[in-house]
Homo-oligomer: A and B are copies of this chain.
Amino acid sequence: MRIVVLAGGIGGARFLRGLKQAAPDDAVITVIGNTGDDIHLFGLKVCPDLDTVMYTLGGGINEEQGWGRTDETYLVKEELAAYGVGPEWFGLGDRDFATHIVRTQMLDAGYPLSAVTEALCERWKPGVRLIPMSDDRIETHVAVTLDGERRAVHFQEYWVKLRASVDAHAVVPVGAEQAKPAPGVLEAIAEADVILFPPSNPVVSVGTILAVPGIREAIAEAGVPVVGLSPIVGDAPVRGMADKVLAAVGVDSTAAAVAEHYGSGLLDGWLVDTVDAGTVERVEAAGIRCRAVPLMMSDLDATTQMAREALTLAEEVRA
Contacts and interface: CB of A to CB of B under 8 A. Distances in A.
B85 A120 contact: no
Interface in A80-119: 80, 82-85, 94-95, 97-99, 101-102, 104-105, 108, 119
Contacts of A82: 98, 123
Given A43-B108, A44-B101, A83-B102, 14 more contacts: A42-B102, A42-B105, A73-B94, A75-B98, A76-B94, A77-B98, A78-B98, A79-B97, A80-B102, A82-B98, A83-B120, A84-B122, A85-B102, A85-B105
A42 to B, nearest CB: 5
Nearest to A108: B43
B123 A83 contact: yes
Contacts of A120: 83
Q: How many copies does the complex hold?
A: 2
Contacts of A79: 94-95, 97-99
Interface string A147-163: 00000000000000000
A77 B76 CA distance: 12
8 contacts: A73-B75, A75-B98, A76-B76, A80-B102, A82-B123, A83-B99, A94-B94, A97-B101
A105 B43 contact: yes
Contacts of A122: 84
Contacts of A85: 102, 105
B102 A76 contact: no
Interface in A57-85: 73, 75-80, 82-85
Q: Which 5 interchain pairs have the tightest Cβ spacing?
A: A79-B98, A43-B105, A75-B94, A76-B98, A94-B94
Contacts of A104: 43
A81 B10 CA distance: 26
Interface in A270-292: none
A94 B42 CA distance: 15
A73 to B, nearest CB: 6
